[in-house]
């Protein structure tokens, strides 16, 4: 008779889970990886001269200057259907077209780029 690998009790029949401890007795079938090719537009931007201006500043002051910039940029990117991929210091990487694609993703990225350019 088979035993549960988790609680070591004898199993009275063929079960997917142990009737005593509820441990799975069969490995779940692997979920197939779904691959999808998408055309995306990627936006990179940073603040002109920020690195040089921040080299000798206190980290708290640098963070205080970046927080409102990150928050506003994230709001603008999201409002145009983009996804912020990462912030690295004053640099921002955003993707338009993933996970949700739009016909005008390149135009959405261009609009956000022109918005950020007018703020620098």
CATH of the domain at 87: 3.30.70.1230
Q: Are residues 52 and 110 in the same domain?
A: yes
Mean pLDDT for 47-61 is 89
75-116 pLDDT per residue, tens = 999 999 999 999 998 999 999 998 889 999 999 999 998 877
Asked whether 110 and 102 are in contact (CB, 8 A), the reply is no
Q: Identify the band that residue 22 occupies on the pLDDT scale cut at 50, 70 and 90.
A: confident
Q: What is the DSSP string of 68-90?
A: HHHHHHHHHHHHTTEEEEEEETT
pLDDT of amino acid 118: 66
Q: Are residues 59 and 11 in the same domain?
A: no
Q: Are residues 18 and 57 in the same domain?
A: no
What whole-number distance in Å separates Cα of residue 27 and Cα of residue 39?
A: 36
Q: Is residue 58 in some structural domain?
A: yes
In the chain, beta strands by DSSP E: 41-45, 82-88, 91-96
Q: Are residues 23 and 79 in the same domain?
A: no
pLDDT beyond 70 at 63: yes
- Quote the number of domains for the chain: 2
Dihedral sign for Cα atoms in the order 103, 107, 112, 115: negative
pLDDT, the chain, mean: 87
pLDDT of amino acid 119: 64
């Amino acid at each position: 008779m088979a035993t549960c690998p988790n609680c070591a009790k004898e199993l009275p029949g063929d079960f997917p889970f142990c009737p005593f401890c509820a441990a799975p007795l069969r490995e779940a079938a692997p979920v197939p990886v779904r691959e999808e090719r998408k055309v995306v537009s990627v936006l990179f931007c940073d603040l002109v001269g920020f690195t040089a201006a921040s080299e000798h500043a206190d980290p708290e002051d640098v963070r205080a200057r970046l927080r409102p910039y990150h928050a506003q940029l994230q709001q603008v990117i999201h409002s145009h259907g983009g996804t912020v991929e990462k912030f690295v210091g004053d640099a921002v990487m955003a993707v338009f077209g993933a996970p949700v694609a739009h016909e005008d993703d390149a135009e959405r990225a261009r609009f956000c780029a022109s918005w950020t350019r007018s703020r620098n």
